[in-house]
Amino acid sequence: MENLIEINNLTFSRSGRVIYDDISLQIKKGKTTAIMGPSGIGKTTMLRLMGGQLLPDKGDIKFKGESIPSMRRSRLFEVRRQMSMLFQSGALFTDMSVFDNIAFPLREHTKLSESIIHTVVMLKLQAVGLRGAAGLMPAELSGGMARRAALARAIALDPELIMYDEPFAGQDPISMGVLVKLIKALNDALQLTSVVVTHDVSEVLTIADYIYILAEQRVIGSGTPEQIKNSDSPLVQQFLQGQADGPVPFHYPASSIAKAFLGSAS
């Protein structure tokens, strides 16, 4: 199957700290790929690298065979029209109503008449169950509703790729269930390619076709949900089962407790 995104031997560091060290991964077209890993491992950074918002130190990121880091800004903006991103906070424009937020990319990038824009926006809002909330301002939405409205905006231009940044973080069980259902339904109905960055294990195992687990600046495990569940890597198992201690230690590196407390006496 064709790869929509190919990441080859990517190295990326920020403020002197290495985030990724020579990692490679592929995002298959039409599939949902999950990128998982402990907090602070740089999962969101991966999405920003894919979207060309950050540049790698070494290695390449290809979108449909075209290198994103070496694109000119104008070409990058053209390519971004084929991709979309659902931000963790939703990132709705706070000075616009829900309707105007979803109409925004259509007004910016198309010459559709206002009546057609109205129809498209209402259809997108219907798809996420928020047609009745079109006139509300973002401040009037709950966290789950804001994320659904942002999802409607993300699919407004019918992108080929949609990147979800921690879509389930901070959601109550009902909102989480709604988002899982929506991501799966949209992927199937619109033939999208999805990249879901998350650390919510149970949700992602139900929707992902392929999973990468990142830790220690590299890919520590990859495969279908079944392969990941049966992985014999202790690090992968610690992550999946949420064990407090293991290859990722409970304690932040420190000198020994005896030395710390009794050092002056001994």
Residues that bind another protein (CB under 8 A): 48, 51, 53, 77-78, 80-81, 83-85, 87-89, 91-94, 104-105, 108-109
Say how far apart CA 68 and CA 10 lie, in whole Å: 12
Cβ atoms of residues 59 and 10 within 8 Å? yes
* Nearest-approach distance from CB 89 to another protein, in angstroms: 5
Q: Which is nearer to another protein, 92 or 183 (CB)?
A: 92
Q: Which is nearer to another protein, 146 or 201 (CB)?
A: 146
Q: Which is nearer to another protein, 138 or 221 (CB)?
A: 138
Which residue in 235, 216, 248 sits closest to 21, CA to CA? 216
* Nearest-approach distance from CB 237 to another protein, in angstroms: 33
∠ CA(195), CA(199), CA(201), 5° rounding? 95
Q: Which is nearer to another protein, 78 or 188 (CB)?
A: 78
Say how far apart CA 35 and CA 166 lie, in whole Å: 10
* Nearest-approach distance from CB 160 to another protein, in angstroms: 13
* Nearest-approach distance from CB 106 to another protein, in angstroms: 10
* Nearest-approach distance from CB 249 to another protein, in angstroms: 28
The answer to whether the Cα torsion of 228, 233, 238, 239 is positive or negative is negative
* Nearest-approach distance from CB 194 to another protein, in angstroms: 15
Q: Which is nearer to another protein, 76 or 205 (CB)?
A: 76
Say how far apart CA 156 and CA 259 lie, in whole Å: 60
Q: Which is nearer to another protein, 30 or 105 (CB)?
A: 105
Lookup: tokens for 54 = 């950050």
Say how far apart CA 107 and CA 159 lie, in whole Å: 16
Q: Which is nearer to another protein, 94 or 115 (CB)?
A: 94
* Nearest-approach distance from CB 220 to another protein, in angstroms: 28
